[in-house]
Amino acid sequence: MLNIDVAKVPYIRTAVPGPKSIELLTEQGKYETASVTYPKSFPIGIKSMKDSVIEDVDGNLFIDWLTGISVLNLGYSEFIRDAVRAEMESTWHALEIPTEARIEFLKALRSSFPSNMQDYKTIFGISGADACETAVNLAHAVSGRDSYTIVFEGAYHGVSGGIIAATYESKYKAGNNSPGFKVIRSPYPGILWENYSVGDVIDYIQTAIRENSADSLLVEPVLGEGGYVVPPEGFLKALRKLCDENNIIMIVDEVQAGMGRTGKMWAFEYDGIKPDIVCAGKSVGGGIPMSLVYYRGDFDEKLPTPFHLGTYRANPLALAAGREVLKRTPAVLDSVKERGKYLLKAFSEIDSDVIAQVRGKGFMIGIELGKNGGPVDSNTMARYKKLLIENGIVMHTCGHYGNTFRFMGALNIDQKLLDTGVEIFEKVVRTKW
Ligand SMILES: Cc1ncc(COP(=O)(O)O)c(C=O)c1O
């Protein structure tokens, strides 16, 4: 791993991409599908990573505000690497046959949930899509009905067979023509340029379920790919009530907002609700692929064996990394809440006529760019993105119009990489073309 003085980050010594990066990107193009997405947004070849710093093959050092899309919530940490290495000494593939790491992970996972969710059980998966797909199948198995699932505008739950229907944007569906699960699509409250209140959304759903009966509802507590939209307070509570009154199983998708990202271990905790099913992924394996569904224990009675299958689920290395993440995350939650507020203020105070809204919770912060009463166009966004990486920040965008920059730095990022990052971001968004 790199030995880095964060005071010297970012350090940009070549054009971006530099010559060695261009060489790797060109080779990749020869062998790998032309449909890769991330190398188009982040045109570098990676040499090494350490904590919240990425070194490219040309010797440039970047601030990592991407964290592999909220997968590396504790960065490229030595303690995760060491946990994986130690597990590697004993085993690295065990199916569902218990290992000590598996049981320790399951116990730590349960303790990460509120006291009224201690009788829940876990099904493991590989990806976030896998978890969300399993959660909806679980709801159908429990309800005994293959009926509708209520989902939301802006939602992203993955792109595999059934769950593709729950994901909102058509641009994500080009590679999968399957109709997927039957869904009722509701507006999501709090989206800029739209005007839905919590009451409007509840009315909308109530009307819709009179026509088509629903057995489940799948919601992100903060919209992720949909634009880092924080719904008005009480949204999840209102949904919980609606689900209770209509015998609907409530599934909360914490794949992106969970594992401390918003300053609480699970984002639904802000609303004090008790979901029936929770989906987790991304950071739950500390960067080694793993996802899971945490569900009401009494649902077990309704599940056949086998119910969900997959050779690679809950790999021992992912369990060991995840156990380390679960152990260390509680210690950073207060700082995420506090530094999240600091960042919200810092981004809000940037004097730029293109910032339309700054919003967020903890380390899930969206900076939406707009001009003349509408979103900034994609060409202008591409220019800002290019400038950001050329100035040493790896930062992604999201939202329906792709016009929201999203801060999703590691929860334990060095303060210096926040301060310097905000300065660079300010310089970039104040650029006049
Ligand atoms: C909220 C949410 N759910 C599900 C997924 C799908 O996860 P994966 O890409 O691991 O399939 C994502 C991915 O971004 C997500 O943000």
Q: What integer pLDDT is reported at residue 146 of this predicted model?
A: 85
Q: What integer pLDDT is reported at residue 5 of this predicted model?
A: 87
Q: Give the number of domains in the chain.
A: 2
> Is the CB of 224 within 6 Å of ligand 1?
yes
Per-residue pLDDT, averaged over 39-52, amounts to: 96
**Cα(72) to centroid of ligand 1, in Å?**
14
Establish whether the linkage from the previous residue to 17 is cis, with ω within 30° of 0.
Answer: yes
Is residue 426 predicted with pLDDT exceeding 60? yes
Pairwise CA distance, residues 232 & 90, whole Å: 48
Domain endpoint, select from 314, 331, 348: 331
Q: Are residues 240 and 147 in the same domain?
A: yes
**Cα(231) to centroid of ligand 1, in Å?**
19
The pLDDT confidence band at residue 176, using thresholds 50, 70 and 90, is confident
Is residue 3 predicted with pLDDT exceeding 80? no
Question: Measuring CA to CA, how many Å separate 242 from each of 152, 195, 204, 228, 272?
Answer: 15, 21, 11, 24, 15
Higher model confidence: residue 193 or residue 187?
A: 187
Flag whether 30 is in a domain: yes
Reference 151, options 126, 175, 169, 168; nearest CA is 168
In ligand 1, which atom is closest to the CA atom of 131? 4
The pLDDT confidence band at residue 413, using thresholds 50, 70 and 90, is very high
CATH of residue 276's domain is 3.40.640.10
> Is the CB of 138 within 6 Å of ligand 1?
no
Q: Are residues 314 and 178 in the same domain?
A: yes
**Cα(224) to centroid of ligand 1, in Å?**
9
Identify whether the C-beta of residue 360 lies closer than 8 Å to the C-beta of residue 230.
yes
The pLDDT confidence band at residue 1, using thresholds 50, 70 and 90, is low
> Is the CB of 128 within 6 Å of ligand 1?
yes
Predicted confidence (pLDDT) per residue in 203-226, tens digit: 999 999 999 999 999 999 999 999
| For ligand 1, atom 16: residue with the closest CA | 256
Flag whether 1 is in a domain: no
The answer to pTM > 0.95 is: yes
> Is the CB of 133 within 6 Å of ligand 1?
no
The pLDDT confidence band at residue 46, using thresholds 50, 70 and 90, is very high
Q: Are residues 72 and 162 in the same domain?
A: no
CATH of residue 28's domain is 3.90.1150.10
> Is the CB of 127 within 6 Å of ligand 1?
yes
Q: Are residues 286 and 390 in the same domain?
A: no
Higher model confidence: residue 1 or residue 147?
A: 147
**Cα(388) to centroid of ligand 1, in Å?**
25
Domain endpoint, select from 331, 365, 397: 331
Is residue 32 predicted with pLDDT exceeding 70? yes
| For ligand 1, atom 4: residue with the closest CA | 157
Q: What integer pLDDT is reported at residue 411 of this predicted model?
A: 98
In ligand 1, which atom is closest to the CA atom of 279? 3
Higher model confidence: residue 299 or residue 177?
A: 299
Domain with 198, as residue range(s), is 79-331
Predicted confidence (pLDDT) per residue in 84-109, tens digit: 999 999 999 999 999 999 999 999 99
Probe residue for ligand 1, chosen from 38, 70, 255 as the CB with the greatest number of ligand atoms within 8 Å: 255
**251: β partners:** 218, 277
Q: What integer pLDDT is reported at residue 2 of this predicted model?
A: 66
What share of the chain has pLDDT > 70, as a percent? 100
